[in-house]
A and B are shown apart, each in its own frame.
Chain A
Amino acid sequence: MRNRTVMNSFLVTTILALTGIGFADPASETEPTQEKVESPAEIIVYSGRSESLIGPALKKYEDATGNTVKVKYGSTSGLTALLLEEGGATPAHVFIAQDAGALGALAKNRRLAPISDSVLVEVEPRFRSPAGHWVGVTGRARSVAYNTNAMNPSDMPDSIRDFTDPKWKGRIGWAPGNGSFQAFVTAMRMRDGDAKTEAWLRGIMANEAVVYPKNSAIVRALGAGEVDLGFVNHYYLYRFLSEDPEFPVKNHFLPNGDPGTLVNVAGACMPKPATPDAARVAQAEELIRFLLDEEAQTYFATTTYEYPLAKGIAPAMNMPPLSSIETPDMDLSNLDDLEGTLVMLRKVGALP
């Protein structure tokens, strides 16, 4: 009897070992690549941007350099949690995140290696980390999108703060669970203070703003006439417009550095391995530099409709130039104080 149990446990260990090692290859070989220095190299990327948006750009990089890129796609937050859990053992050379808050959180936890100045200078200082831990690749502006059948731009107030007026009751769509929206609230807290921001949130809730899970759902709802206006990122609209030029929705950018016009970034960073590895850093920087080159930047501008952040590249679709959008003057790294924003959103009942 005893013999049998010993044999059983031996069997299971073997099975476990087999599943661990034997099944490493249905799709790919994925040994950590620290030791490979020779080119062509294999670069591991964690991407919080979806494959449909960033995949083609990475393909261009592979074609141009002969290197292979292995990507792990996920949500920005899920991958940020994963990177924090992995610590120095992470196999990722580069992490591409959807918002500056996640990049700021990683930097605060000292999980990022600094990027060389030669890469950083491609981008205006307001769209990168002051300490050089991350760099913006594309920009997304907050805007007030509206249904053109339901209202005119002249009906728009001067500031997002004015949407607490009862005349907007039942006409607003928002997504309090969305990261970009929360970044905007964080910006508002930094500008107007907590008391005013909280009062604003309560005012919007009193106006029975309709809750949507995310920005794209708001824009879709605007097109269908479910609500008259919504707090969104600027670029979703252009995707709908490219499919249907008659789509009855427009963006409005609030003037005077309003927090409702915050420009946030999707950016790249280099997670720090436990032991410094110069070759790995060089490869990672090469990839980041490629994302800031004209070819990739033009690609982003024309397919994702975001603002290219490298100097001298124009946006697509007759969008107003980035310089004409009056963003609030602030350090995007500080948008990582989401904890306070979440506490506030919960307090007013906008979040569970």
Chain B
Amino acid sequence: MILCLSIGLLALTPLAYLLVRTIGETGGGTKTSSFLFSLRTLEHAGTSLGLAAVVTTASTLIALFLALCTGASDLPFRRTCTVLVVCPLAIPCYVGAAVYIGTFSPGGLLGGASEILGVRYGWFSGFWASAFVLTLFTYPLAYLPIRAGLSRSDRTLLEAARSLGHSRTRAWVHGMLPQIRTSMVAGSLMVALYTLSEFGAVSMLRCNTFTRVIYLEYESAFDRTGAALSSLALVALIGLILLLGEWMRGRNTSGQTGRPARPCRWRLGRWRWLGVPGVGVVTLLSVGIPLTSIFRWWGRSHSTDPVLDAILPALVTTMVLAVVAAVVVVILALPTSMLASRYPSKLSRMIERITHIGFGLPGIVIGLALVFVVLRFLPAVYQTWGIVIAGYVILFLAQATGPLRAGFDRAPRPLEDAARTLGARWPRRLRRITIPLLVPGMSSAFLLVFISTTKELPNTLLLAPAGSHTLSTRIWQYTEEAMYAESALPALILIALSAMMVAGLVWREGMVEKTA
């Protein structure tokens, strides 16, 4: 309990910092009132919420479709398809945005299309372009939990509904949907929060969300009070979305039966080949086009040697950092998710909500908050990797909580109690029951945090010790100078690294499915 509270406190650091920055400054009061009631603020709030709504809806629908195709049907090449549809997670949104801007401009892959249509260059920008790009690269955040939910679901209810004479659709809506609702909402929540905090793509595509405004405020005015105010408003939006998520999740209807579930598997019959183009289109847009463009950039680079020298150490740093961060985040997320799953209370819900704030806040806010706190209370840690990892913990705790919580839901207390009555002592219970049931959740939490860490930029840039580099800071550096050819290699390595993790996980799950 104390442990959970202290983790909650860590996650609250950014909020405390923002309050100090707003209240502590002179003239904070007048600024606050003029800020809150300005039309500009409302506009940005509207854009942020609108973008989150569109991206979340589209991502959830795509994710649901793909999860059904790859997880609950007899689609051909299911395993390959699963790897392919998770892959976009490995592509940072800012790379995705750069790729699409390049694709539609003259000389790009689809530059000809712009010319034929006679539209003005630079048309690919603004709200809808951002929604398009963000959807393509964030839907896996929803896909993974839905897919996991499907594999835990039980077709008994579905069969019962069918035997009572309900149509296929009706049976599905009443017998199946409630079973995966929790994981669907959890996934959508992650997409929504990510959209709120995303900076790279929206700034390239010029969509004025709160996060872009916060960066612009830091960028041009060195105005920390204004930026803190905007960030606080963003926290309010995050709260709103979290409440909405809770309302949609409703009461927990997971209905644990304790016996092995029989996941549903549809026979698609002659429709089975229709799922393939569906998966194909999504994969083409979210993996095919980006990879082709990056390879084209790579083809234009002249020298490789100095670039390689710069990339190898960055690769090592990235991998070590990502593994350590993922392990630490998963360990720290264990107690909070156990609390949320086994002892649901107002307090545990509150702690869970607090851990979500970090995922919705821009990285620069988290970074500055940590600088503020660490320099005051723990100056020895400053300029070490420890503070970078603390930043990742605040940012990605929520990502680990989701899958872990689902894991604890699968290993409920009654199961352990039953083992206890059979005379199993706690090490044996842990080894034979809790850990095996937790492993899938732990490994997907590890995977998510690993990939997010390798992609993360603003927090890394601000907090990493002087003289160090990661792959993403390298990519940033090259794209900043419009050296796209040089940025291609680190981008490809970054994508390959994450893709390997994805493939490993899917392959492992496939093995589990087979042996089960």
Please indicate whether A and B come from the same complex rather than being unrelated chains. yes
**Residue ranges of A at the interface with B (Cβ–Cβ < 8 Å):** 5-6, 8-9, 12, 15-16, 19-21, 23-24, 26-28, 30-32, 44-46, 50-53, 70-75, 77-78, 80-82, 84-87, 89, 91-92, 102, 105, 177, 179, 182, 210-213, 216-217, 220-221, 224-226, 338-339, 341-342, 346, 351-352
A144 to chain B, nearest CB (A): 19
A73 to B461, CA, bound (A): 7
B6 touches A12 (CB 8 A): yes
A52 to B6, CA, bound (A): 42
Dominant secondary structure at the B interface: helix
The one of A86, A226, A338 in contact with B121, judged by C-beta atoms closer than 8 angstroms, is: A226
Apart from A85-B368, A85-B375, A89-B375, 9 more pairs, CB < 8 Å: A27-B468, A52-B477, A52-B483, A77-B220, A177-B216, A210-B122, A351-B216, A352-B40, A352-B213
Contact residues, B310-345 vs A (CB, 8 A): 310, 313, 316-317, 320-321, 324, 328, 331-332, 335
Complex contacts, A82 vs chain B, CB 8 Å: 367-368, 371, 462
**B351 in the interface (beta carbon within 8 A):** no
B378 touches A9 (CB 8 A): no
Segment at the interface with A among B169-177, B181-189, B202-210, B281-289: B202-210
9 nearest A-B pairs in the assembled complex, by CB-CB distance = A20-B386, A352-B208, A70-B467, A30-B465, A72-B466, A216-B482, A70-B466, A23-B385, A27-B468
Contact residues, B371-388 vs A (CB, 8 A): 371-372, 375, 378-387
Residue of B nearest to A219 (CB): B482
A146 to B287, CA, bound (A): 37
**Residue ranges of B at the interface with A (Cβ–Cβ < 8 Å):** 1-3, 6, 40, 43-44, 105-107, 120-122, 203-204, 206, 208, 212-213, 216, 218-224, 310, 313, 316-317, 320-321, 324, 328, 331-332, 335, 364, 367-368, 371-372, 375, 378-387, 389-390, 458, 461-462, 464-469, 473, 477-478, 480-483
Complex contacts, A70 vs chain B, CB 8 Å: 465-467
A182 to B221, CA, bound (A): 10
A26 to B213, CA, bound (A): 35
Complex contacts, A221 vs chain B, CB 8 Å: 105, 121-122
The one of A23, A78, A81, A346 in contact with B224, judged by C-beta atoms closer than 8 angstroms, is: A81
The one of A16, A24, A92, A342 in contact with B384, judged by C-beta atoms closer than 8 angstroms, is: A24
B384 touches A30 (CB 8 A): yes
Q: A19-B328, A84-B222, A210-B121 are in contact. Are A50 and B465 (CB under 8 A)?
A: no
The one of B1, B212, B218, B483 in contact with A81, judged by C-beta atoms closer than 8 angstroms, is: B218
The one of A8, A19, A30, A339 in contact with B383, judged by C-beta atoms closer than 8 angstroms, is: A30
Complex contacts, B208 vs chain A, CB 8 Å: 352
Q: A23-B385, A52-B477, A91-B383 are in contact. Are A80 and B222 (CB under 8 A)?
A: yes
Residue of A nearest to B387 (CB): A20
Residue of A nearest to B314 (CB): A27
B482 touches A19 (CB 8 A): no
A42 to B434, CA, bound (A): 51
A27 touches B465 (CB 8 A): yes
Q: A20-B384, A210-B122 are in contact. Are A339 and B221 (CB under 8 A)?
A: yes
Residue of B nearest to A82 (CB): B462
Residue of B nearest to A21 (CB): B386
Q: A5-B2, A82-B371 are in contact. Are A23 and B467 (CB under 8 A)?
A: no
Complex contacts, B372 vs chain A, CB 8 Å: 85
Residue of B nearest to A81 (CB): B218
A26 touches B482 (CB 8 A): no
Complex contacts, B467 vs chain A, CB 8 Å: 27-28, 30, 70-72
Complex contacts, B375 vs chain A, CB 8 Å: 85-87, 89
Complex contacts, A30 vs chain B, CB 8 Å: 383-384, 465-467
B481 touches A9 (CB 8 A): no
The one of A23, A75, A216 in contact with B324, judged by C-beta atoms closer than 8 angstroms, is: A23
Q: A28-B465, A216-B482 are in contact. Are A78 and B218 (CB under 8 A)?
A: yes
A339 to B466, CA, bound (A): 30
The one of A71, A77, A92 in contact with B218, judged by C-beta atoms closer than 8 angstroms, is: A77
B24 to chain A, nearest CB (A): 13
A50 to B482, CA, bound (A): 11
Q: List 25 A-B contacts (CB under 8 A).
A: A5-B2, A8-B3, A9-B2, A12-B332, A19-B390, A23-B389, A51-B477, A53-B481, A70-B466, A71-B466, A71-B467, A72-B464, A72-B466, A77-B218, A78-B458, A81-B368, A84-B222, A85-B224, A91-B466, A210-B120, A212-B122, A221-B105, A338-B222, A352-B212, A352-B216
B1 touches A5 (CB 8 A): yes
